[in-house]
Structure 1
Amino acid sequence: MDIKAAVTHGKGEDFQLEEVQLDDPKHDEVMIKVVASGVCHTDAVARDQDVPVPLPAVLGHEGSGIVEKVGSSIQTVEPGDHVVLSFSSCGHCENCLTGHPAYCLRFNDLNFGGIMNDQTKRLHQDGQEVSSFFGQSSFGTFAVANERNVVKVDKDVDLELLGPLGCGIQTGAGTILNKLQPTFGETVAVFGCGAVGLSAIMAAKIVGCSKIIAVDLHESRLEMAKELGATHTINGKDADTVEEIKRITNGGTNYSVETTSVPALAIQSLHALKPRGTSAVVGVTQETEFNVFEDIMAEGKGLVGAIEGDSVPQIFIPKLVEYYKQGQFPFDKLVKFYEMEEINKAFDESKEGKTVKPIVKMP
């Protein structure tokens, strides 16, 4: 079928709204009428080829929509269901089978390699294959995704709002709730108050962390962090961040979450910990130098990577929706909506810090 999609043709180029062809779903796949899609930093790094994705491609990996068709073996959803689209995984490797699909042994291949689970493509334009992204390509009016990507959600919540739960918001909240798992009364510092960092702050409040310290360069985002649960804020331009964190916590935090992809802040996230503390890095951070003995081993600290909040989306995303309905996870305060024709503006305003979490609505 013919659909409208935002196509990425070349490195760093603007998205072009064009007609492409989408194949019908195969036996283990679902076709979704996309209602909206969140804009994530990962889309930007793919567009700019910092993470190489075969081009041309239709990006977008925080889709939400309504099931249009299902393949013959689909058991979890049916036409008319409201769904959120999340990351792709194989379902067969050791990590998938033990409840850690975000660490699927085929994760890079399935999410950044431009292919679906069976190693073929569903998108075409002018006789040429077009790469998919995260097994969904939600920057289009329709998408085809494997059943493992698809999460059924309640119909009594605004569907246009829910797409970012598929990646960015799941990543921040899951890094706290699934990966680090702080207990009541422990402390955490969150570096970067974008959508991922603010989601981590809301999750830390749910857990009952006694001190939740937000670090950013923008006062507006620090104010939002306070509103969402931060007990303390630090503007990195105005203070020695590590010393201030140690002062607030009397020696350092139990945990830190680094969301900015800035190498210097990855080091700060380690230095701000008390002995035996753990820092989780979720950003696409490039080469960084640190002293393994002084920064990690000598104080028994841990430095871990966290992908997609170490979540099982079909379990975790409905929990976040329930927290939202109860007023404990007000992620709607992060978003700003854009029409599909404004997709390049959405990316620009996200980069400029004008919008925390853009969501593009499909026609």
Structure 2
Amino acid sequence: MPTESLAAVLEAPIDDDTAFTDGRPVSVEEVQVADPTGEEVLVEIEATSLCHTDVGFARGHFDTPYPLVLGHEGAGVVREVGDQVAELDPGDHVVLGRIACGRCSQCRAGHSNLCSRRVPANESGRLRTGTVPFSRDGDPVHHCLGVSSFTEYTLVTEDVAIPVTDDLPMDRACLLGCGVFTGFGAVENTAGVRIGDSVAIFGVGGVGLNGVQAARICEADPIIAVDMVPEKLDLAREMGATHTIDASDGDPVDAIREIFPEGVDYAFEMTGHSGVITQGLDAVGSKGKSSSSAFRRSGRSRSTSTCTGCCSARRRSVGRCRGRTTSRWRSRSSLTSWPTGRSRSTRS
């Protein structure tokens, strides 16, 4: 029998700056959550966080059907499982994130950022199983990025539910689902930063700060953080940045070249702005790599001149020209080795 749940429903986008002002265009509604079947899992959400991508959905920046239940960073407790779920049981604590399936041809080839099950599901507002997980008075309410965490209960596929230890606070665990996985994954997985590599990170919000932490853990040096908000730059210092640059004071590329004249080994663009993507390419050395790890609105693409400049200088741009996240977590199993993770073999 479907589960009743209160959810933040986005009825239709508004393409202006009033998103989330006085509640617009989101309303709290009662929805029905479908029972889990097959590889699906019903999760009671204990904590969720807000990502700028949610604002993008509210402003109509992405191709997706409406209405939908927002949110793609969540943590909660498994309440019911489908008959094909292999590694989760009711009562398990999980983090929900946009993780690749790990089984399709793209994932098996190592291109998990191009997961052939995730992309069509995201664009259709359905789960990877084809299920529309929510309904309201018999009408469908669609999913958001495979998670939909702005609700009391959500339905997800097992492969996006990562088991974590029961003592991890939910209000912190939910942050893992997007910002941590994306920022950390871009540095460690996509780029493979090593000891002594020079790194510049453009944009030190939730994603960029986790990129800074990852660079510190990888023992990169220097680690240069670029932003226009002094408070964010202060946090970047606390998290491991060796240098900070206020981009509002002048050209950050010139400032980076003053610190590291030959250009850095890796530049990570964490804002989704095309101009910053160009700055990232200009900041790397002749054999450097630039990575974009932020969502950009549908229909926007990197300019041809930017790509041409990248290739002519022997620089390499890592990831898709659309600027999608390229964290390359191969599957949910690759995350259970984290200190907060819990593999199946450790279960009692």
- Alpha-carbon separation, structure 2, partners of 1:216 and 1:231: 14
- Alpha-carbon separation, structure 2, partners of 1:293 and 1:124: 43
Of 280, 304, 317, the residue aligned with 1:269 is 280
The answer for the alignment partner of 1:182 in structure 2 is: 193
The answer for the alignment partner of 2:261 in structure 1 is: 250
Change (3 A) 1:319 1:88: closer
Contact 2:48 2:149 in 1 (8 A): yes
Contact 1:83 1:150 in 2 (8 A): yes
1:139-180, CA deviations, whole angstroms, 9 ceiling, x for partnerless residues? 100111111111101112112211121222100000000000
Q: Please report the RMSD computed on the Cα atoms of aligned residues, expressed in angstroms.
A: 1.9
Contact 2:295 2:325 in 1 (8 A): no
Of 295, 299, 309, the residue aligned with 2:309 is 295
Where does 1:128-143 land on structure 2 (aligned, <5 Å)? 128-143=139-154
Contact 1:166 1:313 in 2 (8 A): no
Of 90, 108, 116, the residue aligned with 1:79 is 90
Structure 1 residue 98 displacement after superposition: 3.6
Of 298, 303, 311, the residue aligned with 2:329 is 311
The answer for the alignment partner of 1:166 in structure 2 is: 177
The answer for the alignment partner of 1:331 in structure 2 is: none
In the alignment, structure 1 residue 213 sits paired with structure 2 residue 215? no
- Alpha-carbon separation, structure 2, partners of 1:202 and 1:6: 32
One-letter amino acid of the counterpart of residue 9, structure 1: E
The answer for the alignment partner of 1:336 in structure 2 is: none
Residues matched between the structures, number:
323
Q: Secondary structure at the match of 1:296?
A: helix
Where does 1:1-363 land on structure 2 (aligned, <5 Å)? 1-12=3-14, 13-87=24-98, 89-285=100-296, 286-289=300-303, 291=305, 295-305=309-319, 307=325, 309-322=327-340
Change (3 A) 1:250 1:114: same
- Alpha-carbon separation, structure 1, partners of 2:292 and 2:329: 15
More helix by share: 1
Structure 1 residue 290 displacement after superposition: 5.6
1:19-42, CA deviations, whole angstroms, 9 ceiling, x for partnerless residues? 001111012111111101121122
Change (3 A) 1:293 1:11: closer
Change (3 A) 1:100 1:37: farther
Contact 1:276 1:301 in 2 (8 A): yes
Contact 2:42 2:153 in 1 (8 A): yes
- Alpha-carbon separation, structure 1, partners of 2:259 and 2:333: 35
Higher mean Cα deviation, 33-42 or 95-104? 95-104
Structure 1 residue 291 displacement after superposition: 3.4
State the identity as a percent.
Answer: 33
One-letter amino acid of the counterpart of residue 219, structure 1: P
The answer for the alignment partner of 1:333 in structure 2 is: none
One-letter amino acid of the counterpart of residue 302, structure 1: R
Higher mean Cα deviation, 306-315 or 178-187? 306-315
Contact 2:49 2:71 in 1 (8 A): yes
Structure 1 residue 319 displacement after superposition: 4.1
1:110-137, CA deviations, whole angstroms, 9 ceiling, x for partnerless residues? 1232112232312100221110112221
One-letter amino acid of the counterpart of residue 98, structure 2: F
- Alpha-carbon separation, structure 2, partners of 1:322 and 1:64: 13
Q: Secondary structure at the match of 1:162?
A: helix
Q: Secondary structure at the match of 2:9?
A: strand
Contact 1:34 1:66 in 2 (8 A): yes
- Alpha-carbon separation, structure 1, partners of 2:32 and 2:267: 44
- Alpha-carbon separation, structure 1, partners of 2:138 and 2:197: 57
Change (3 A) 1:9 1:231: same
Structure 2 unaligned regions, length at least 5: 15-23, 342-348
- Alpha-carbon separation, structure 1, partners of 2:340 and 2:87: 19
Higher mean Cα deviation, 298-307 or 161-170? 298-307
Change (3 A) 1:314 1:264: same
Structure 1 residue 262 displacement after superposition: 1.5
- Alpha-carbon separation, structure 2, partners of 1:23 and 1:151: 21
Q: Secondary structure at the match of 1:237?
A: helix
